[in-house]
Structure 1
Amino acid sequence: MLQELLKKIDDKEFAIGIVGLGYVGLPLMWTFHNENMPVLGFDIDKEKVNCIREGRPYIKHLGKEMMGKLAQSDRADATTDFDRLAEVDAVLLCVPTPLDEHREPDMQYVERTCFTVGEHLQKGQLVILESTTYPGTTEELIIPILESKSGLTSGEDFYVAYSPEREDPGNVNFNTAKIPKVVGGHGEEAIRLACALYDTAIVQTVPVSDTKTAEAVKITENVFRAVNIALVNELKVVFQEMDIDVHEVLDAADTKPFGFMKFVPGPGLGGHCIPIDPFYLTWKAREYEQNTRFIELAGEINTSMPQYVMDQTLKALNAHKKPMNGSRVLVLGLAYKPDVDDMRESPTFKILDLLKEYGAEVAYYDSHIPVIKPTREHAEWTGTESIAWSEENIRSYDAVIIATNHSDIDYEQLAEWSECIIDTRDAMNGYAKNPEQVWQA
């Protein structure tokens, strides 16, 4: 059976099903399609499926050209009909793994998807989870569901692997095809098959001993980033009190050719991975009676940053003899990082919430997100529209908070039009007209 599947991969007749057509699944679909592999995308969102079939982009940075080619191809399709899972040789799961209200893993999307896949599972199929999760998920959750729903046995009748996504939306230097793929499998044949599949489209595969190790790799990557961002966020607060520019410090330290890696402070963590994934490990560690104090402390620091932004905003308004309550405050940037339309876990939402709690009249500007679409956590902001960028509009606000430093914002104009700017991204460096105009936060 394995040899037949490997030959199908070599012949580019190995059909790939991708469940979840968001920021991970859609680029993955395109990457395999680019290598002439047959791909079939699955999603419960009919609008996403229609966009793929009609060539209409719904993730801004991926562009129109890609969507047009997918729509015109006879080697790519998308569907909401999960009965068509029987048509593919591999099923790649790219579904959300958020936290619940107790900041513990919310595995409902993975579980539901696995129940559906299990109901349609065929002998010889390869199932790969790409969603970031805690070590042990594949063996303890995925495989038991698939086996119970299908009556088949992993390693004998079908194959299971784990290969974590490493997407960085908007990164022009590293797209899906250029980022090495870590692969762990349930058994040697599963690893071999999964690596052969990814080798068709990815620059390098990095096999590890099992699925648990691969899951730990992804968690480690994101814990590393979360802890180091927490460190520079803490340094920012400390150096601010010492009247030291943390950005100047970091830039100078970054000239050292060894022993230092630059991380940049901000208003909090955003994106799907860094604000969430470390808590998956802390939750799992408790099962082994292990404490993760370092990770939890980093989480506390990072989640406290929106409040620090509020404290600095209060000081800035006070310096201009204005109270927070009743002031009009504009927040620049809803996306969690520059030049994308990805607002998952964006700290701007927390800033907007806090401003509202403090009695401010709040609005936002983001050319990448003209209207706030429905989200799981921030339904109250759904439908809110970005203001238009104009001198009249900007001057009408008592304070402007820069939450995301999009490159299309004219910061020189901002310096001319606003007298009170709270800068969380060092975007106003060199533009300030006077010492009391720009406040670092």
Structure 2
Amino acid sequence: MRLKVAIIGGCGHVGLPLALALAPHHDVIIYDINAAAVAQVKRGEMPFRDEGGEQALREALARGLIVTTSPEHLSSCDILVAVIGTPVDEHLNPSFAVFDKLLAQLDEVLRDGQALVLRSTVYPGSSERVQRHFQKRGRKVEVAFCPERVAEGVALHEIRKLPQIISGFSPEGVKAARDLFSPLGVELIELSPLEAELAKLFTNVYRYISFAVANQFYMVASEWNIDPYRILHAMKKDYPRAAHLPMPGFAAGPCLFKDTMQLAAFNNNQFFLGHSAMLVNEGLPQFVVQQMQRRWPDLGQKTVGLLGMAFKAESDDPRESLSYKLKKILELHSAQVLTCDPYVSDARLVAEEQVLEQADVFVIGAPHKRYKTLDYRGKPVVDVWNHLGHGGKL
């Protein structure tokens, strides 16, 4: 069944890959208030890195993909997909302000018989909150929650491959979700809305806690002047019960920390495992600087080159990147910090060659592939990720 589908917030990291994946199967409209991003997508240019995105965008535009800053098309759509989630505020509690603003806008355009699919990670119970919003207004709009489950940078590929969780408050809402995603040919897993919301949060929080385990092991070994990567290699080598333990590194990005705090808030802040993981992961930059001070007592007279400001390798997304936290701490304890990244757009960054030339010591913030083969001019490199394969000892 070919449907008319609108992706609200469709020029972002969640919405655009979904729009491109659905474009061969449905008539897709991207609605986004970011005029610069809309203009860029209209030109056939991806606003961010995603494998296969450029070609898929060109093909979608050739099929008639509509990209607009106007909500005028929303009323004519069968299904609207909202990719706006619930952020956390300065007190690490969920904030519904963005969500409420969206609902107020949708009240102007939605009509009875449409379905609204919530796509981004939300605070548990948010889907029901949206359902009540329409019920109170006597609107017959089906609400479904179908979380994205993909990794940034390979989102388009994974949307077409990974099972999709769907949920709804009525058989009609579930059917709308099935009709939306069935053409992708992936397995559909049906849950209740609250189950689906928790499944998404549990997944992200599990990853965050797993990273904290690896980072805590890294800190323990480093405190005893032992290479943590020799230990991790011994643990994981042909040993299935340790196979899923990740490697140490800066665990950050727009989701994992936020979602851990959302789950904590949902459980009345009785989530000691999550809070402990946050303390470990957020404490790693401070730990690295302390180790650098031990290794170089004259760190205050050195220029530090920080390589990679994205939150993960091969990404152009700096949101919640711990490289920026590391930079702030280093600025307190070194003479100067120079930062660069081949993908991130930030006026504060300098040319890579300048960093290589002027820095006395380097820190790999994001393990981009290019950093494996850089000429570091014989200068020391702090490599939490073991990106260069020399171990984790400073």
Q: Same fold (TM over 0.5)?
A: yes
Asked if 1:428 corresponds to 2:388, the answer is yes
Partner residue in 2 for 1:366: 341
**1:25-52 deviation per Cα after TM superposition (whole angstroms, max 9, x unaligned):** 000000001x331100111100111112
Q: Quick one: distance in 2 between partners of 1:296 and 1:323?
A: 31
The alpha-carbon deviation at position 291 of structure 1 amounts to: 1.4
Which residue in the other structure is 1:152 paired with?
138
Equivalent residue in structure 2 for 1:408, among 370, 374, 385: 370
Number of equivalences: 391
Cα distance change on mapping 1:292 and 1:404 into 2, 3 Å: same
1:204 paired with 2:187, answer yes
Q: What is the TM-score of this pair, normalised by structure 1?
A: 0.83
Instruction: Please give the TM-score of this superposition, normalised by the length of structure 2.
Output: 0.93
In the alignment, is residue 223 of structure 1 matched against residue 185 of structure 2? no
- Structure 1 residue 296 and structure 2 residue 275: aligned? yes
Q: How far apart, in 2, do the equivalents of 1:113 and 1:393 lie?
A: 43
- 8 Å contact from structure 1 (residues 55, 69) kept in 2: no
Q: 1:385 aligns with which of 334, 349, 353?
A: 349
RMSD of the TM alignment (CA)? 2.1
Take 2:265 and 2:155, find their aligned partners in 1: how far apart are those partners?
A: 34
Deviation at 1:396, TM superposition (A): 1.4
Query: Counterparts in 2 of 1:3-402, with a 5 A limit?
Result: 10=1, 12=2, 14-20=3-9, 21-33=11-23, 35-62=24-51, 63-74=53-64, 76-140=65-129, 142-148=130-136, 151-153=137-139, 157-171=140-154, 174-208=157-191, 210-254=192-236, 255-258=238-241, 260-266=243-249, 268-286=250-268, 291-318=270-297, 322-324=298-300, 326-358=301-333, 360-369=335-344, 371-372=345-346, 383-389=347-353, 393-402=355-364
Q: Distance in 1 between matches of 2:35 and 2:337?
A: 33
How far did 1:164 drift? 1.0
Q: Give yes or no for contact 1:89–1:125 (8 Å, CA) kept in 2.
A: yes
Letter in 2 for 1:395: E
1:65-114 deviations in Å (ceiling 9; x for gaps): 2332233332x111111232112111111124322111111222222112
The one-letter code matched in structure 1 to 2:201 is I
| Residue type of the alignment partner of 1:402 | I
Q: Partner amino acid for 1:404?
A: A
The CA deviation at 1:117 is 1.5
Distance (Å, rounded) in 1 between the aligned partners of 2:5 and 2:162: 19
Structure 1 residue ranges without an equivalent (≥5): 1-9, 373-382, 433-437
Between the aligned partners of 1:358 and 1:111, the Cα distance in structure 2 is 43
Report if the CA contact (8 A) 2:147-2:165 is conserved: yes
Cα distance in 2 between the residues matched to 1:427 and 1:230 = 18
Cα drift, residue 187 of structure 1: 1.9
Structure 2 gaps of 5+ residues are none
SS at match of 2:305: strand
Is the contact between residue 153 and residue 315 of structure 2 (CA under 8 Å) also seen in structure 1?
Answer: yes
Contact in 1 for aligned 2:5/2:78 (Cα 8 Å):
yes
Structure 2 CA distance for aligned equivalents of residues 195 and 172 of structure 1: 20
Secondary structure of the residue aligned to 1:92 is: strand
CA distance in 2, matches of 1:164, 1:202: 17
Q: Deviations over 1:385-438 (max 9, x none)?
A: 33233xx64131121111111112244522xx14222112101224x9xxxxx8
1:379: which partner in 2?
none
Q: CA deviation at 1:120?
A: 1.1
For the Cα contact (< 8 Å) 1:363–1:387, is it kept in 2?
Answer: no
> Do the aligned partners of 2:214 and 2:245 also contact (CA within 8 Å) in 1?
no
How far 1:195 moved relative to its partner? 1.8
1:419 aligns with 2:393: no
Report SS of the residue matched to 1:60. coil
For the residue of structure 2 that corresponds to 1:128, the secondary structure is strand
**In 2: Cα distance, 1:398 partner to 1:145 partner:** 58
State the one-letter code of the partner of 1:405: P
Report if the CA contact (8 A) 2:50-2:154 is conserved: no
**1:364 to partner: Cα distance:** 1.2
Structure 2 CA distance for partners of 1:147 and 1:82, relative to 1, 3 Å: farther
- Cα distance 1:278–1:393, how it changes in 2: closer, same or farther (>3 A)? closer
Runs (4 or more) in structure 1 with deviation over 6 Å come to none
CA spacing shift, 1:385–1:343, aligned 2, 3 Å: same
